[in-house]
Amino acid sequence: MSSQKEDKEKFVHQVFESVAPKYDLMNSLLSFRRHKAWRAFTMKKMNVQEKQTAIDVCCGTGDWTISIAQKVGENGQVIGLDFSQNMLEVGEQKRSNQGLNQIKFVHGNAMDLPYESDRFDYATIGFALRNVPDIKQVLREMGRVVKPGGMVVSLELSQPVWPPFRALYFFYFNRILPLMGKLFANRYEQYSWLPESLKGFPDSKELAAIFEEVGLTRVETYLLMGGIAALHIGYKSEV
């Protein structure tokens, strides 16, 4: 891994370790609770069935992990993997409170998933792909561990396509959001990272092309709320 990628990984790790206690609160405040609706839309498109298996990469505090686990039921299995131990501890408390024994939280690296190939029905990553050191490597790993015909799913912030809305969006992201981070979580620098993380991140069309470049097929793209977020779904070839 290059020095620049290592520096990014260390910084992002520090950010998420520090914001873990208020991560869920800030997600709801900063997205005006829309992240829940976006995830519900994604779950509908995924159509998860009982007894299936999934790995939720960069799972954070485990909200999406839990949503998937509720669908696969007690005879399914869901792995929630993250490199922040503090985030995983919050997720583990949620899992314990809800008695979801089909979930296992694992401390690990999205760049090198500790699982054999062709294992899971789904590999998901939510609001985290922009934070990884190498997008293509993470998507390759996600594609590797799903079964032939399996689904790789990314739900991520994106960039609005309508110019006036786009300008308002970036004003909020660059000026207002870090101030809210300071006000509600006493974390200005960490929430300044959020708009910074979108700079240079592929737009929805570019990300769809990357899905195809790493070998995923039948790539679907859905723009949510005018492009504030984007859902990308790709499938592992069955041949």
More confident residue, 76 or 176: 76
Is residue 208 over pLDDT 90?
yes
What pLDDT shows up at residue 89? 95
For 99, residues 6+ apart whose C-beta sits below 8 A from its C-beta are none
Q: pTM, whole model, 2 decimals? A: 0.83
Q: How far apart are CA 206 and CA 108, in angstroms?
A: 27
- Tens digits of residue pLDDT in 180-196: 556 555 554 555 556 66
Digit-coded pLDDT (tens) for 62-117:
999 999 999 999 999 999 999 999 999 999 999 999 999 999 999 999 999 999 99
**210, 135 contact by CB (below 8 A):** yes
Report pLDDT digits (tens) over 103-156: 999 999 999 999 999 999 999 999 889 889 999 999 999 999 999 999 999 999
Task: Using the predicted structure, report yes or no on whether residue 34 has a pLDDT greater than 90.
Answer: no
- Using an 8 Å Cβ cutoff, are 223 and 162 in contact? no
- Contact yes or no for 238/148 (Cβ under 8 A): yes
Per-residue pLDDT at 225:
85
Q: For 176, which DSSP code? A: I
Q: Hunting for tokens 């079964």 — which residue is that?
A: 147
Task: Report the C-alpha gap between 96 and 91 in whole angstroms.
Answer: 9
> What pLDDT score does 188 carry?
41
Strand order in the sheet with 120-126: 103-107, 77-82, 53-57, 120-126, 146-157, 229-235, 217-224
Residue 169 CB burial class (10 angstroms; 0-12, 13-18, ≥19): buried
The residue with greater pLDDT, 48 or 201, is 48
| Measured distance CA(204)–CA(199) in Å, rounded | 13
Tokens of 135: 């997008």
Note the pLDDT of residue 220.
Answer: 98
| Token digits of residue 108 | 């690990």
Mean pLDDT for the stretch of residues 31-51: 88
Single-letter amino acid, residue 95: R
Residue 33: which residues within 8 A CB-CB, separation 6 or more?
A: none
